[in-house]
Every structure is written in C-alpha cells, then in structure tokens.
Amino acid sequence: MASEAPGTRGARAAAQPRLLKLKEMFKSKFGSIPKYYVRAPGRVNIIGEHIDYCGYSVLPMAVEQDMLIAVEPVKTHTLQLANTNPLYPDFSTSVNNIQIDKTKPLWHNYFLCGFKGIQEHFGLSNPTGMNCLVDGNIPPSSGLSSSSALVCCAGLVTLTVLGMNLSKAKLIEFNPLRATDVKLPSGAAFVIANSCVQMNKAATSHFNVRVVECRLAAKLLAKHKGLQWDEVMRLEEVQAKLGVSLEAMLLLTKDALHPEPYSREEICMCLGISLEDLRTQILTPNTQDVLVFKLYQRAKHVYSEAARVLRFKAICEEAPDNTVQLLGELMNQSHGSCRDLYECSCSELDQLVDICRKFGAQGSRLTGAGWGGCTVSIVPADKLPDFLANVQDAYYKRRHHSEAPEKQNLFATKPGGGALVFLEA
Ligand code: ADP
Ligand code: MG
C-alpha cells in the first residue's frame, strides 16, 4: 500500500502553503481534488564534472528547489498534464499509446519518459490514467537538473498511483545522493550563483563531441596497452582493465597521447581501421562531421577530476582543521581543468568564479555541463552574509541590471531532502 511506502509522509499536505495553492489550482483545472503530492529535488554537483559518462562517481547534493506534482488517478486511460507556469502548455494523451517525439524539446516529454520508464520497468500492460498538475521552481537549463527532477518526479508519481512500494523500485534512482553519503563540513556553506547565461543548445553539440572524444581517448589508451580496445567505451574501463591508480592513468595519458588535436585519419591509423569503420562503429550520428578531436586534454581532465572527487571525499571524512581551505582548492582546480582542458566554461562563468573568490569563497567552480548555467562556491559560514551582498553587487547589479529581481540567482544551499510523496490529509 502506498501509505506504507518508505518516503511517504501522510497527512502533511494541509500544513504546506505551496501544496494548498497547488490544490486550489488543481481544483479549478480538473474540478477535483488531488490524491497525492510528489516531490523530487534539483541537485547541485559539488565536484566531479563530465566524468559520470566516463564511468566515474560524482558528488551531487540535493537542493531545496524542487519539482512538485499533484496527482489524481482516473479511470479513463487518459493522461492529462497541466503546469502552474503558463510557459508550459497543457498536454493530454491516451496512456495506451504514448509517443515521445524526441525531435522537439517539449516539457511533457520529460514527464512521459518518467511515466513510460516505470511502465516498461515493471512490464505493465494496462496503465492507469491520471490528472497531474506540475509546479517546479528549479531554474531551468542552469545545471541544477530541472529536467531529471521532472523525469524522476513523474516516475515517482506513476509508482505512487500504481500503489507500488518504493523499495521495489530502486529508491536510489530517485535520490540524487546516490551511493555513499559524504558528510560536508559544518563550518561552510555552498553557494549557488547563476551566471544568467542559459546553456544554449549549441552546447549540446559540444557535449556530444566531448562524449566521443572521451570514447576515442579510451580506445587509443587501451590499444596502446595491448588491451581489447574495440570493446572499450569509457575511460574508467581502461583503468579497471589495467588495475592501476588514477595517477598511473595520468602518466599513461601523457605517454600515449599527444596534446595536438587528432585528425580522423590519425585516429584511424592508430586503431588500424578505415574511416568508414570510425564513422559507423565509433562516432555517433551527430558527430559524423567533426574533423579534429582533443584526446589528451579530455582524458587528462577526466582522470584528474576523478582523483579530485576521491580526494574531496577523503578530506570530508578526515575533517582536518583546514578542511574548507582544502576542499576549496580542489574546487578551484576543478574549474581550471573544466576551463582549460575540457573547454566547457565561458567568459561569464570565469568572471563569476573570480568574483566569488575575491569576496571570500575558498573555492568556486562551474557546475553542471557548463557553457553557461551556475557556479557553486564553498564559503566559510562567518563570511556568508558579506559574500552574498558583495557578489550581488559585483556581478548582478553591475553587469546584469536587466535581470528580473524576483529571479533567485544567488543563494546559499542547505542540503535539501530527497524525493517524497505526500498524501492528501
Ligand atoms: P537542466 O536539466 O540543467 O535544468 P535542461 O535543458 O536539461 O536543463 O532542461 C530544461 C527543460 O526541463 C525545460 O526546457 C523544460 O522542458 C523542462 N522543465 C524545467 N522546469 C520545468 C517546469 N517547472 N515545468 C515543466 N517543465 C520544466
Ligand atoms: Mg537536464
């Protein structure tokens, strides 16, 4: 029964003003009362950028901003979606024939992915219909994962309506703090600052190139060491197959790869394959026209960043007197590596990081995919009020006069809670 599922809070809805507002809007939209309220938080990645898809762990923290969905199951096999934000139009579909149009970045597609994901995971043949009202306050396209919060929240909504116990559904997937908990230092705050540059969609092509560069680097490193390179897809697999440290992988990168960009012809020669093989078996459909690849720089970023995540975790566990300073140094190194080796920063992010350091951050870095979006800084707790006032003045008042003042661009984060289901009281 849903009310016994872990992560479910019964009889709490009435106490929350945001839920009450949502309930009123739900009533006027659907003429009925929601049965459940489900939330999934956004997250900020404290360290470990662009290494997850290479097989390495990262260090995200849930933030207070979240996706909240009010839901009512219906008997009609129709899924009706509405949003409190008029930017996101209503949507309705039959649950028996869900089509996800991947060519368009429509908001309801994220919901459908979560919905369909659960149906498919449990092999359900007769999905229930539902009415849903979505209310999100995670700034979109800023590196705080508003899209994955929406997918997770929709998945959790679907599970809840099906009356399924969360523990049957890999709770870990709905929780951004996956795997081991890392205790962050108590004497410091993490501050998120939005550069106000929206990660533009051109960034997606840069992103695709980075993924392929990492794959190619992994294959060249594997070939250099006489491994079965054609099966290798990720930089982490090379390390695992060799059974060596990240430091050893950095030395190998230096030995086996050169800093000059690689042409397709050179890559083909190194691997002993034809251009046709490269195109059809290694490159993705959206990287067919890329002519040069920076393999040394990308591999160096990934292995050094993976090592920084481990150092960060170790420092948090050891908690020496200068913890905040040490963590800050790692975050600064991470930003430098993202900027110079991975080339995923931009001038506004670099300026913002400089301003944050100038006004008391021990460390500051871009977070999320980069090319815009947010920075995250570690700030000693006693410096926080001055820090916020000075950064507000130096970056937002001076440089971005026109930004809507109600938009929350700069805020300290208390680590937020995980995904939750509220029951209607
Ligand atoms: P990020 O995940 O880093 O925030 P993305 O570009 O991946 O950025 O995702 C942003 C998209 O997520 C938006 O264009 C929209 O489709 C969807 N989204 C974000 N917030 C909401 C919301 N409150 N309601 C509906 N859809 C949302
Ligand atoms: Mg996203």
Distance of CA 29 from the midpoint of ligand 1 (Å): 22
Distance of CA 221 from the midpoint of ligand 2 (Å): 30
Q: What is the pLDDT of residue 124?
A: 81
> What count of residues does the chain have?
425
Q: What is the pLDDT of residue 105?
A: 80
H runs (alpha helix) in 5-106: 17-30
Distance of CA 285 from the midpoint of ligand 1 (Å): 24
Q: What is the pLDDT of residue 424?
A: 57
CB 316 within 8 A of CB 307: no
CB 330 within 8 A of CB 322: no
Q: Phi/psi zone of residue 131: left (φ > 0), alpha (ψ -120 to 50 degrees), beta? A: beta
Q: Tell the residue nearest (CA) to atom 8 of ligand 1.
A: 141
Average pLDDT, the chain: 89
pLDDT in tens, 172-221: 333 344 567 788 888 899 999 999 988 765 667 899 999 999 999 999 99
Q: What is the pLDDT of residue 2?
A: 36
Least confident of 85-89, 138-142, 355-359: 138-142
Q: Which of 107, 132, 192 to mutate to test the pocket of ligand 1 (most atoms within 8 A of CB)?
A: 107
Q: Which of 150, 195, 206, 408 to mutate to test the pocket of ligand 1 (most atoms within 8 A of CB)?
A: 150
From the CB of 83, is ligand 1 less than 6 Å away?
yes
Cα separation, 17 vs 33, in Å, equals 16
From the CB of 154, is ligand 1 less than 6 Å away?
no
3-state secondary structure of 291: coil
CB 193 within 8 A of CB 395: yes
Question: Which H or E run includes 67?
Answer: strand 59-74
Of the pLDDT bands very low, low, confident and very high (cuts 50, 70, 90), residue 425 is very low
Distance of CA 147 from the midpoint of ligand 1 (Å): 4
pLDDT in tens, 6-20: 455 544 555 688 999
pLDDT in tens, 235-245: 999 999 999 99
CA distances from 312 to 25, 236, 364 (A): 44, 19, 14
Q: Which atom of ligand 1 is nearest to the CA of 107?
A: 16
Cα separation, 396 vs 392, in Å, equals 5
3-state secondary structure of 64: strand
Cα separation, 157 vs 129, in Å, equals 12
Percent of the chain with pLDDT over 70: 88
3-state secondary structure of 129: strand
Q: What is the pLDDT of residue 233?
A: 97
Percent of the chain with pLDDT over 90: 73
Sign (positive/negative) of CA torsion 30, 32, 35, 41?
positive
Over residues 370-377, the mean pLDDT reads: 95
DSSP 141-181: TSSS-HHHHHHHHHHHHHHHHTT--GGGG-GGGG-SS-SS-
Q: Which atom of ligand 1 is nearest to the CA of 369?
A: 3
pLDDT in tens, 58-84: 998 988 899 999 999 999 999 999 999
Q: What is the pLDDT of residue 401?
A: 47
CB 321 within 8 A of CB 306: no
Question: Which H or E run includes 94?
Answer: strand 91-94
pLDDT in tens, 301-333: 999 999 999 999 999 999 999 999 999 999 999
Distance of CA 142 from the midpoint of ligand 2 (Å): 9
Report which residue type is found at 415: P
From the CB of 85, is ligand 1 less than 6 Å away?
yes
pLDDT in tens, 144-168: 999 999 999 999 999 999 887 655 4
pLDDT at residue 406 tops 60:
no
Of the pLDDT bands very low, low, confident and very high (cuts 50, 70, 90), residue 408 is confident
Distance of CA 231 from the midpoint of ligand 2 (Å): 29
Angle at 273 between CA 269 and CA 277, to 5 degrees: 135
pLDDT in tens, 245-266: 999 999 999 999 999 999 999 9
Q: Tell the residue nearest (CA) to atom 12 of ligand 1.
A: 147
Predicted TM-score (pTM) of the model is: 0.87
